[in-house]
Chain A
Amino acid sequence: GAVVSQHPSRVICKSGTSVKIECRSLDFQATTMFWYRQFPKQSLMLMATSNEGSKATYEQGVEKDKFLINHASLTLSTLTVTSAHPEDSSFYICSARDTNDSEAFFGQGTRLTVV
């Protein structure tokens, strides 16, 4: 199957700083990328959907000024957690799909810890 690479796999940052998470499709063009957040022992909650070259569509309750999503190319989307707080600590997972396939492929996730 197609490969989606997420980087970094783990990151620790101080409160008040910003951290960027990258999601890359390695062998296909990802017209659409999805960003999820997963709390411990919980399911994946969709945060936002991004289409290449367009503004991301955020789910209700997700602060778009806090979770900045950029999808500037067909192979890269980034999620920036701005002014991070300890409650932002979580597991963030991206997924990507191309235009001709309804299946989305998942990255390996990023464990964010804000101290």
Chain B
Amino acid sequence: AQSVTQPDIHITVSEGASLELRCNYSYGATPYLFWYVQSPGQGLQLLLKYFSGDTLVQGIKGFEAEFKRSQSSFNLRKPSVHWSDAAEYFCAVGDPGGSYIPTFGRGTSLIVHP
């Protein structure tokens, strides 16, 4: 079965600093990989996704993520964080060989200091 690990429950950064949120997955082959953002009391918004091809994926709001097969990782990065980026971030993995049902990590809460 597929699984996702987000090792950091909270991450605190200063506005303008760079950001990296970690995500590791467990799956027998190359899965579909996603990053979602959730603002308080809201649903999920897709930031970016990886299905195949270029392992560096560009997303919305200046985010990018890199798929590293050797490390089973799909870390999310942003070069300069804005206060509005404070939210909960979820990494998810989907099974491309099955019916695709995303499995979510537990989430990482991003706190941005002014």
Report A's interface with B, CB cutoff 8 A: 1, 4, 6, 32, 34, 41-44, 46, 49, 91, 93, 95, 97, 102-109, 111
Contact = CB atoms under 8 A, between A and B. Distances in A.
Contact of A106 (B32, B44, B100, B107): B44
A104 B42 CA distance: 16
A93 B42 CA distance: 9
Interface in B43-66: 43-46, 49, 51
B100 A107 contact: no
Interface string B22-34: 0000000000100
Contacts, number: 48
A74 to B, nearest CB: 17
Band of interface residues on B: 20 to 34
Contacts of A42: 106-107
Nearest to A42: B106
Contacts of A103: 46, 49
Interface of B: 32, 36, 41-46, 49, 51, 90, 94, 96, 99-107, 109
A107 B43 contact: yes
